[in-house]
Structure 1
Amino acid sequence: MKHHALQEIRSVAKVNLEYPYPLPVARRDRLERWAQLLERCEDQALSTLHETEYQSAKERAIMRADNSPLSVAFADPVLRAAGLAGDSYGEIRQFFGLSHNQLHRLVCYCHFGATVNASAAAKNVRALIAAGDRPSIFARVRDMFRR
C-alpha cells in the first residue's frame, strides 16, 4: 500500500473527514437523522402504504413500498449501521420506537393519498421528535388493544 499526503488525495478525490459518522443511538437521534434524510428529498413524492389500519399485525409488519418514507430511511448507510434491518412497516416501527398510530400517521394512504411529499413527511417526523420519547398513556393503551 502506498501512502499519500492528504493534500495529494484531495487533488484527485473528495475527502470526507467526518466519516465515519457517529451512529445515532438514541431514539431522538435516529428520528432526527430520518427527518434530515427526508428533507434532502425536498419536494419528491414518496409512496404511502395502503390502509395500514385495516391489516392484521402480522400483515402490517411486512408491509413496504418502494420509494416510501420507510425506504428513504433504509437507504441510509448510517441508519443501517445503527441496526435498521429493512424497510418494512414492522422493522421501521421497532427501530424508531414508534407506536402503530404514530407510524400510521406518517405513511398511511388515508392521510395523504397515494403519495406524500417528502418535506411533509419530514415535518411529521419532526413533530414526533417534539412530542418526546414516549407516546401518551392513551396511545399506549390503544396500541395494546390493536395488537
Structure 2
Amino acid sequence: MKHQTLDQLHAVAVIEPSAAYSAMTRNQRIARWAELLERNPERLLAAFSGTEHLHPEARATVHGEGSAVAVAFEDTVLRASGLRDDTYGEAKRFFELNDWQLHDIVCDCHVGATMKAGWAAARVRAMIGGNRFLAWLKQRIMH
C-alpha cells in the first residue's frame, strides 16, 4: 500500500471528508489509535530516535515508517478524520498532544529501537485519561 498525503491525492481526485468521521473528538481519535495498536499487540514497531533532542522544526518532519504513528496513518477512519501523514508533527497536531506526551509514546529512549504495539497502545490510551500508571497496570493484567 502506498501512502500519499492529502495534497498528493488532491492532484488526482476530489477528496471530501466524511461527515461521520470528521466530527471525532480528541479522545475518540486517541481511542481509535489505541484500538488499532491493540489489534496486534505483539507487532514490533519502530521508535522515533531522540525526539527530545531535535530542533522543533526538524522534530515535526520526522517520518514514522513502521512506527505507532504509521499504524494510525494506515487507518482509513483516521485519515478521513484529517490525519495527513505519519510524521511526528502531524501526529502531534492531529491527536492534540504536546511534545512530551508524544515523546512518551514514540521515542526510543523508553524502549530502544523497537517497541511492541501493545506497549504503545497503553501509552496512547493513557493520553485519554491522563493516568499512565492505570494504563500500564491494565496492560499488565490483560497480557
Name the TM-score class by shorter chain: 0.7 to 0.9
| Contact in 1 for aligned 2:73/2:83 (Cα 8 Å) | yes
TM-score (norm 2): 0.75
The corresponding residue for 2:78 is: 79
How much identity, in percent, do the aligned residues show? 43
* Deviation of 1:116 (Å): 0.9
| Contact in 1 for aligned 2:41/2:119 (Cα 8 Å) | no
SS at 1:50's partner residue? coil
Are positions 1:66 and 2:65 aligned together?
Answer: yes
Q: Which has the larger radius of gyration?
A: 1
The corresponding residue for 1:113 is: 112
Report how many aligned residue pairs link the two structures.
113
The corresponding residue for 1:124 is: 123
SS at 2:115's partner residue? strand
CA deviation map 1:87-143 (0-9, x unaligned) = 0000000000000000001000101100111000001111111118xxxxxxxxxxx
| Contact in 2 for aligned 1:35/1:123 (Cα 8 Å) | yes
How do residues 42-57 of structure 1 correspond to structure 2 at under 5 angstroms? 42-57=41-56
Structure 2 residue runs of 5 or longer lacking an equivalent are 1-17, 132-143
Matches of 1:41 and 1:93, distance apart in 2: 23
| Contact in 2 for aligned 1:46/1:67 (Cα 8 Å) | yes
* Deviation of 1:25 (Å): 1.5
| Contact in 2 for aligned 1:21/1:78 (Cα 8 Å) | no
Matches of 1:22 and 1:120, distance apart in 2: 29
* Deviation of 1:21 (Å): 9.6
Return the letter of the residue paired with 2:101. Answer: Q
The RMSD of aligned alpha carbons is 1.6
Matches of 1:42 and 1:58, distance apart in 2: 31
SS at 1:73's partner residue? helix
Matches of 1:95 and 1:72, distance apart in 2: 14
TM-score (norm 1): 0.73
Q: Which runs of 4+ in 1 moved over 4 A?
A: none
SS at 1:28's partner residue? helix
CA deviation map 1:67-101 (0-9, x unaligned) = 10000000000000000000000000000000000
Are positions 1:102 and 2:68 aligned together?
Answer: no
Return the letter of the residue paired with 2:94. Answer: F
* Deviation of 1:22 (Å): 3.6
